[in-house]
Chain A
């Protein structure tokens, strides 16, 4: 069974402060890890995926297989980063279902 844990429902930070949204996963096989973002009244959209090792909107996430974590980080938070962030896991190989964490609401205080 696959499981994604996001321990914080709400994270409030001041503008300019560093951000770290935590995500831990449980899966016996080889997973694909993603971060999705949902801005107010908008659809879910992909922010990052571990296989591409990219930085989007200043966010980065590194897959740590030893700690089974995929934390999302940004050095300096901006007000427009306020949104819901979902960590997600999909088994590698084929079009398999994605399991989501409960989400973390990031609130950037001006």
Chain B
């Protein structure tokens, strides 16, 4: 099946700094990418939908100025957590849809100290 990769797989950063997470579709083109956040022992919560060539759409309650999304090409979407705080520590997962299913990246573990 199709493969979605994420980089880095884990990152530790200091409070107040910014972190960029990359999501790539390796063998197919993704005009849409979904970004999810998963807290420990909780389900995946959709944060935003990135669309190649246009602005991302954010779910209610998600700060668009804090979580910057860029869908630069048909195979790359990035999520930048700006001015990170400890409460942003979480597992971030990207996903690309296809007919009949959705392919998930392996996730990025962000720890803000």
Contact = CB atoms under 8 A, between A and B. Distances in A.
A74 interface: no
A102 B102 contact: no
Given A44-B93, A97-B34, A98-B95, A34 B46 contact: no
| B interface: dominant SS | strand
B3 to A, nearest CB: 10
Interface residues on B, range: 10 to 19
B106 A102 contact: no
Given A44-B93, A97-B49, A34 B42 contact: no
A102 B42 CA distance: 6
| A interface: dominant SS | loop
A63 B101 CA distance: 16
B100 A52 contact: yes
Interface of B: 31-32, 34, 42-44, 46, 49, 93, 95, 97-98, 100-102, 104-107
22 contacts: A34-B101, A43-B93, A43-B106, A44-B104, A45-B104, A46-B101, A46-B102, A49-B100, A49-B101, A90-B97, A95-B31, A95-B32, A95-B98, A96-B97, A97-B34, A98-B34, A98-B46, A98-B95, A99-B46, A100-B43, A102-B42, A102-B43
